[in-house]
C-alpha cells in the first residue's frame, strides 16, 4: 500500500507541475528588478547631487558677475572723475584738484585690477570664467546621470515585460542595459 500511495502522490505532483510549472524565470526577473531598482536609486542620488551642485555653482557665477559689473561701474565712475579733475587741474594749476585727480586715477586703476586683493575687475572676470566652467561641468554630469537613470528605468520595464510575456530575451536585454547604465552612472559620479 505504501508504494501505491507514493506512486500516486508522485504522479499527482508531476501532473500538478505540468499544469502549473514553477516560475523560475519570474523569480530571477524579480531579483533583477530589485537590483535594477537599487541601481536606479543610487544613480538618482548622484543625479540629484549633480543638479544641486549645478544650482549652487550657478548662484556663485551670478554673484561674481554681479560683483564684476559693480566693479566695472565703480571703475568707470572713478575714471570719469579722474578725467574731469585732470581737465580742471590743467586749466587752473590747482594743487588740490591735481591731488584729487591722482587719487581718482589710483582708485580707477585699483577697481580695474587689484591682484593683491583679488577683487579688481580683471580678477573678478577670471574668477567668474572659472566658476562658469565648473558650473558647466556639473551640468554635463547631471545630463549624463539623467541618461543613466532613464536607461535604468527602461531596463526595469524590460525586466517586467519579460516576466509577463515569459520572453527571456527581454530579461537579458534588461540585464545588459541595466548593467551598462549603472556602470556608466557610477563612472560619471566617480570620474567626471
State pLDDT tens for residues 14-40. 676 567 666 788 889 999 999 999 999
Contact 105, 82 (CB under 8 A): yes
Decide: pTM greater than 0.85.
Answer: no
Cell numbers representing residue 125 in the block: 572676470
Exposed/middle/buried for 30, CB within 10 Å: 0-12, 13-18, 19+? middle
CA–CA gap between residue 171 and residue 162 (Å, rounded): 5
List pLDDT tens digits, range 166-185: 899 999 999 999 999 999 99
Report DSSP state, residue 114.
-
- On the question of pLDDT at 156 being above 60, the answer is yes
Contact 155, 33 (CB under 8 A): no
Q: Which residue has the higher pLDDT, 83 or 61?
A: 61
User: 131-159 burial, b for 16+ CB within 10 Å, e for fewer?
Assistant: bbeebeebbebbebbbebbebbbbbbebb
Which pLDDT score, from 0 to 100, does residue 33 have? 95
Amino acid at each position: 500500500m505504501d508504494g501505491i500511495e507514493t506512486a500516486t502522490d508522485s504522479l499527482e505532483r508531476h501532473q500538478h507541475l505540468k499544469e502549473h510549472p514553477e516560475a523560475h524565470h519570474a523569480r530571477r526577473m524579480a531579483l533583477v528588478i530589485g537590483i535594477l531598482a537599487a541601481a536606479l536609486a543610487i544613480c538618482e542620488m548622484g543625479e540629484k547631487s549633480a543638479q544641486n551642485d549645478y544650482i549652487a555653482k550657478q548662484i556663485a557665477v551670478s554673484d561674481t558677475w554681479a560683483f564684476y559689473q559693480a566693479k566695472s561701474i565703480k571703475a568707470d565712475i572713478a575714471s570719469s572723475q579722474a578725467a574731469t579733475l585732470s581737465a580742471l587741474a590743467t586749466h587752473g594749476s590747482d594743487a588740490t584738484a591735481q591731488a584729487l585727480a591722482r587719487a581718482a586715477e589710483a582708485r580707477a586703476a585699483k577697481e580695474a585690477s587689484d591682484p593683491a586683493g583679488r577683487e579688481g575687475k580683471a580678477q573678478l572676470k577670471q574668477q567668474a570664467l572659472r566658476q562658469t566652467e565648473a558650473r558647466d561641468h556639473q551640468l554635463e554630469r547631471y545630463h549624463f546621470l539623467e541618461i543613466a537613470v532613464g536607461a535604468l528605468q527602461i531596463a526595469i520595464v524590460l525586466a517586467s515585460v519579460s516576466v509577463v510575456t515569459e520572453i527571456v530575451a527581454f530579461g537579458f536585454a534588461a540585464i545588459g542595459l541595466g548593467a551598462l547604465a549603472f556602470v556608466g552612472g557610477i563612472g560619471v559620479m566617480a570620474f567626471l
